[in-house]
Amino acid sequence: MGVSTSYIGLGNGEGQMGRRYVFNEKEESVIEYPVDPDFLNVMDIKLVAGRNFNREIASDSVNSVIVNEALVQKFWGIGPEAAIGKEFKGKGENAGKTIIGVSKNINFEDLTRTVRPQMFLNTANFKPSVIFVRISPGDPSPALAVLNKAWRTLSPDFPFQYNFVDQKFDDFYKSEKRWASIIIWAGGISIFLACMGLIGLISLAVVNRSIEIGVRKVNGARVSEVITMLNSDFVKWVAIGFVIATPIAYYAMNKWLENFAYKTELSWWIFALAGVLALGIALLTVSWQSWKAATRNPVEALRYE
């Protein structure tokens, strides 16, 4: 458990605040988060150099700041340890900010963007508007009941409203989830219709080649040979379709991944697996009809000839 406060929230729809600061005589934008000294611990944001805010040190609420790795790397090109004690000024300010700590980069925006320079500060006139509560893993209901009771005691005139930080970050990807659902359903329907088409084609092929199958059976052809003969045409078309679809799928997936600053690489085995699955589905669809045709008594096909 832990409690902390901030001026703004985290996640989709919470907004951001920031201002311009001067680094090496050049103005740059920095995202700001006014927080209390417990914020980094409650949010489990690790420090890679320096220290956290301390309520007993007066200067921490005046000009001390904690910045992220992206800020020191982008504006000075130095490591976290070398950034401790460095000073910089805001646009039009006389007093500067002094870095007392460097935090690990966290993705406070969606993954279509790289981590931008970020700064935590704990000012003397800090007025929080968001309360963060870290609760134990598991069912949140007991913790929410306690929080609701405490809120009604402290602020009975305002409703108790809450959300979960992980859900707020998940909201960044609503459109991707919606597209994933559409693609899954469209893909499932397409596979179903394709299977129905394959069943119709193999049934037509069996009817048109029933005499050929009967003659082959009479001349000693094995069931496996007949099944292979009937399936070979369909395997050929599946292979042709795979060759055509692979570059198109690669291009489409690569263009989609270009939207993200942090992305996986497209490996060859993904497309190989898709080809094997497509072939497997096609064979399962046509093999039943092929087996029925191959095991049928050849006399039924030849008795009218």
DSSP letters along the chain, please? Answer: -EEEEESS--STTS--EEEEEEETTEEEEEEEEEB-TTHHHHTT--EEEE----TT-GGGGTTEEEEEHHHHHHHT---HHHHTT-EEEETT-SSEEEEEEEEPP---S-TTSPPPPEEEE--TT----EEEEE--SS--HHHHHHHHHHHHHH-TTS------HHHHHHGGGHHHHHHHHHHHHHHHHHHHHHHHHHHHHHHHHHHHTHHHHHHHHHTT--HHHHHHHHHHHHHHHHHHHHHHHHHHHHHHHHHHHTT-SS-----HHHHHHHHHHHHHHHHHHHHHHHHHHHHS-HHHHHTT-
* pLDDT value, residue 51: 95
Give the other-Cβ count within 10 Å of 110's Cβ: 16
Query: What parts of the chain have a pLDDT lower than 70?
Result: 94, 218, 297-305
Do 241 and 191 contact (CB within 8 A), yes or no?
no
- Which residue type, as a one-letter code, is found at position 216? R
> Do 179 and 285 belong together in one domain?
yes
* pLDDT value, residue 115: 92
* pLDDT value, residue 53: 95
Question: Domain for residue 168, yes or no?
Answer: no
> Do 17 and 53 belong together in one domain?
yes
> Do 224 and 129 belong together in one domain?
no
Question: Domain for residue 169, yes or no?
Answer: no
Which of 126, 144, 163 represents a domain boundary (last residue)?
A: 163
* pLDDT value, residue 94: 66
* pLDDT value, residue 300: 60
* pLDDT value, residue 298: 63
> Do 107 and 193 belong together in one domain?
no
> Do 136 and 188 belong together in one domain?
no
* pLDDT value, residue 297: 66
- CA dist 40 and 46 (Å) reads 7
| Structural domains counted in the chain | 2
> Do 296 and 157 belong together in one domain?
no
Distance of CA 82 to the CA centre of its chain: 34
* pLDDT value, residue 208: 78
Tokens coding 22: 């001067």
- CA dist 118 and 63 (Å) reads 16
Residue with tokens 């930080």: 165
> Do 226 and 296 belong together in one domain?
yes
- CA dist 69 and 50 (Å) reads 12
Domain hosting residue 120, numbered range: 2-163
This prediction has a pTM of 0.76
* pLDDT value, residue 66: 96
